[in-house]
Amino acid sequence: MFYWSLKTLFAEPVRLMVSALAVAVSFILVIFFSAVFEGEAEQMVVYLEEMDADVWVMQKGVSNMHMASSMVWDWKADKIAKLPGVKEVSAILYLNGPVKIGGKDWFSYIIGLTHEYPRTGPWAMAQGKAMPGPGEAVIPEVISQLTGIQIGDEITMIDRPLRIVGFSKETFSMASSVVFVSREDLGDLLEGSDQHSYIMVYAEPGVEAQALAERIKEEIDKVNALTSEAFISSDWQLAVQMGAEIIRMMTLLGTLLATLIVAFTAYSLIARKKQELAIAKALGFGNGQIYLAALSQSVVVIVLGLLFTLFISFTFLAWLPTVAPQINLVVRLHQFITVAIVALPVAILASLSAARTVAKLDPMTVFHQ
């Protein structure tokens, strides 16, 4: 019976491929939204990760960068640098808000840089210089590709025109991009020329980050200090709540749709074989064998669909950002595994439900049709 079920399934290769591809398309939809969600979520904290600090220091009461405002007197950075266990400090001035580029407002993390702290600037450049001076800016390369704006063109930060001097890599997100300007320009706008927004602390070898953070909070008045891990986690959670939750909802809806498609495909596959299975039952095959035949056919279709999904995910989806650079996609194996875990039980239940109608038939009724 098992051999017969597979033989009849592969006897119609076109129908088999169409069924498997229908399943694969529904899975790809789920994986696409999941990949966008993970890509955008990671991109929102990419600056914090690339700075690779051990401890972040900010204004007391602040615990994140996304949609936050922080001001710390610049002399506190000098005082932190002298604490035991501190190897080095860097600092930035920061503002989140729209920057007009190419006639469009792009919500951005605006980072004010100074030559005193060169490591706070772009970590990868596509073109131009990485450290903007007064009246200059470095913007994401992707925005240049989308708008056609070039080095030497002007952008507007609030009401201040700035000239583009460089394009950075890995700094674009659909939710927020990173724009680098001079600390002098941003300080004038914020009236904070003698202040920092965030101070990055790099520990001496062997010094524990959590212990150093506690020491900073004890020694420096009116500041908050978090380990890099805690700061990134806090910022990621806030960013997800404010933007990426929409993508997560779309992923859940896509999963629901995929589940319905899988159930329909598995059920209709067995329903089409109803008469053949009934004949098999009339010839003496038991209900257990009927269920096994139905189950084996559904599993073959779903497994083929999963294989198509795996191939498309790691080829087409992985290639997609090269032609649509504004999309941040992170395709990982666990996304495929999650889909498989959801799909297989649904397919099994749907196929067994269809087979149950055959098992309940009187075997002789098939000969009267």
pLDDT tens sequence across 322-347 = 777 878 888 888 888 887 887 778 77
Specify the pLDDT at position 162: 97
Residue 233 has pLDDT above 70, yes or no: yes
HEC-encoded secondary structure of the chain: CHHHHHHHHHCCHHHHHHHHHHHHHHHHHHHHHHHHHHHHHHHHCHHHHHHCCCEEEEECCCCCCCCCCCCEEHHHHHHHHCCCCEEEEEEEEEEEEEEEECCEEEEEEEEEECCCCHHHCCCCEEEECCCCCCCEEEEEHHHHHHHCCCCCCEEEECCEEEEEEEEECCCCCCCCEEEEEEHHHHHHHHCCCCEECEEEEEECCCCCHHHHHHHHHHHCCCEEEEEHHHHHHHHHHHHHHHHHHHHHHHHHHHHHHHHHHHHHHHHHHHHHCHHHHHHHHHCCCCHHHHHHHHHHHHHHHHHHHHHHHHHHHHHHHHHHHHHCCCCCCCCCHHHHHHHHHHHHHHHHHHHHHHHHHHHCCCHHHHHHC
Pairing of strands 160-168, 136-140: parallel
The 10 Å Cβ neighbour count of residue 205 is 6
pLDDT tens sequence across 264-302 = 776 676 666 666 666 666 666 666 676 776 677 777 888
Residue 174: band (very low, low, confident or very high) from pLDDT cuts 50, 70, 90: confident
d(Cα 369, Cα 366) in Å, to the nearest integer?
6
pLDDT tens sequence across 204-223 = 999 999 999 999 999 999 99
- Closest to 19 (Cα-Cα) out of 277, 270, 255: 270
pLDDT tens sequence across 101-113 = 998 999 999 999 9
Specify the pLDDT at position 267: 67
Residue 224 has pLDDT above 90, yes or no: yes
**Residue, of 267 and 161, whose pLDDT is higher:** 161
Specify the pLDDT at position 280: 63
What is the percent of the chain where pLDDT is above 70?
82
Specify the pLDDT at position 188: 92
Residue 125: band (very low, low, confident or very high) from pLDDT cuts 50, 70, 90: very high
Structure tokens at 195: 């202040």
pTM of the entire structure?
A: 0.78
**Residue, of 367 and 191, whose pLDDT is higher:** 191
Give the mean model confidence (pLDDT) for residues 127-141.
96
Specify the pLDDT at position 238: 78
pLDDT tens sequence across 234-263 = 988 877 675 556 666 766 777 777 777 777
Q: Which residues, at least 6 apart from 288, have a Cβ–Cβ distance to it below 8 Å?
A: none
Q: Which residues, at least 6 apart from 290, have a Cβ–Cβ distance to it below 8 Å?
A: 1, 277, 280, 281, 355, 358, 359
Specify the pLDDT at position 70: 95
Specify the pLDDT at position 94: 96
Where do the structural domains in the chain lie, given as residue ranges? 2-41+244-368, 46-239
Per-chain mean pLDDT for the chain: 84
Residue 159: band (very low, low, confident or very high) from pLDDT cuts 50, 70, 90: confident
